[in-house]
Amino acid sequence: MKVVLTKTEGFRHFGLLDDLDIPGMQLVQVTTPEELAQEIVDADVYYGFPSADLLQQGKALKWIQAPSAGVNFLQTLTELVENDVVLTNTRGAHGPSIGEHTFALLFALTRHIPQSAQAQREHRWAWSDLYHTNTEIWGRTMGIIGYGAIGRAVAQRARGFDMEVLAVDTHPEAGAPFVTEVWGMDRLPDLLRQSDVVVVSAPLTNESYHLIDAEALALMKPEAYLIVVSRGGIVDENALADALESGKLAGAGIDVAEVEPLSPDSRLWDAPNLIITPHTAGDSTEKERRCVEILKENLQRYARGETLMNLVDKRRGY
């Protein structure tokens, strides 16, 4: 079994694989496109992000372990969707990091941290500007769109802050933790109307593209906040800019954009009460290690002929 490892998520932790006792396994690390093109030809397993060229070259590939939880590359990579190569992802590795980042964005909005930071740079004690402006999340309702591993990590932390939690998902699961009930997507309007904070943690699919458009945003309370931490493209960015500029939304925090990097000409840069982070919600040393731990577990399962963790339905896109 030849396994090709690319310099991507978790590469600093590839040493975790050194103690694998799998007869005949060959681990090959590549760092350049040229090395990848040479080594992928007879590889059985690939850890990295696939492309059409890679699939064309890797005729022996049987399994691809994506380093990410989201696999929206499937939307354009029909070569992978239509072949027999098994695809798995790192679902579950990013939950703690994104869960924490969600609340970093939320607290920055509710406690006006950017305004305080700006006053600090100006050597100005901004008590008179900011006092009587902060709000609490205690007792408020959080609505989560997409109740997978990331949504659950967010909900777990929300419950710790004594929030009520609602959720919608394409495949609602009875008895899901940290929430009284997970509704089907047909209840999205109800979630938007009832929530004080809406968190987008769903995968990007053909069905979820621009799911949160002008009509959906209009259902939200004017004092509500929108936090987007999964994938860009789920929220219509022009509609979000309109809602913020018109005061129909209290604020928003986004870690992802439909096109990344976000264009310098995007209206979002200047939208009021919006905090933008550059797709760093899922980034942490601990997450990097978890990605390789998932790979390690799956390599052992693969060698034993067992079902792999985090199998992706390539046609559904998650």
What ranges do the domains of the chain cover? 2-93+285-304, 95-276
Sheet with 251-254, edge to edge strand ranges: 182-183, 164-168, 141-145, 197-200, 225-228, 251-254, 274-276
Neighbour-count burial of 94, counting CB atoms closer than 10 A to its CB (0-12 exposed, 13-18 middle, 19+ buried): buried
Classify residue 180 as exposed, middle or buried by CB count within 10 Å of its CB (0-12, 13-18, 19+): exposed
Distance (Å, rounded) from C-alpha 57 to C-alpha 53?
A: 6
Q: Would you write out the chain's pLDDT as a tens digit for each of its 318 residues?
A: 999 999 999 999 999 999 999 999 999 999 999 999 999 999 999 999 999 999 999 999 999 999 999 898 998 899 999 999 999 999 999 999 999 999 999 999 999 999 999 999 999 999 999 999 999 999 999 999 999 999 999 999 999 999 999 999 999 999 999 998 899 999 999 999 999 999 999 999 999 999 999 999 999 999 999 999 999 999 999 999 999 999 999 999 999 999 999 999 999 999 999 999 999 999 999 999 999 999 999 999 999 999 999 999 999 888
Tokens for 85, please give them: 């190569």
What's phi and psi for 226, nearest 5 deg?
Answer: -115, 130
**pLDDT given for residue 260 in this prediction:** 96
Q: Active-site residue among 112, 152, 231, 290?
A: 231
Task: Pick the catalytic residue from 279, 289, 293, 301.
Answer: 279
- Of 238, 201, 208, 249, which Cα lies nearest the Cα of 99? 201
Confidence (pLDDT) at 299: 98
The helix or strand, by DSSP H or E, that contains position 23, with its residue range, turns out to be none
- Nearest-angstrom CA–CA distance, 307 and 309: 7
pLDDT score for 112: 97
- DSSP 8-state assignment for residue 18: T
Which tokens belong to 9?
């998520």
The Cα diameter of the chain in Å comes to 69
The whole-number pLDDT of residue 72 equals: 87
In this prediction, residue 180 carries a pLDDT of: 86
- Considering the candidates 207, 260, 297, 306, report the single residue annotated as catalytic: 260
How far, CA to CA in Å, does 286 sit from each of 89, 97, 290, 298?
17, 8, 6, 19
Assigned CATH class of 95-276:
alpha beta
Active site (annotated) includes residue 237: no
Both tokens of 48, joined, read 């990295």
Q: Is 279 a catalytic residue?
A: yes
- Other residues' Cβ atoms within 10 Å of the Cβ of residue 75: 14
| Percentage helix, strand, coil for the chain under 3-state DSSP, each rounded to 5 | 40, 15, 45
95-276: same fold as 2-93+285-304? yes
What fold characterizes domain 2-93+285-304? Rossmann fold (3.40.50)
Taking the C-alpha atoms of residue 142 and residue 145, their distance in angstroms, rounded to an integer, is 10
Q: Identify the pLDDT of residue 75.
A: 86
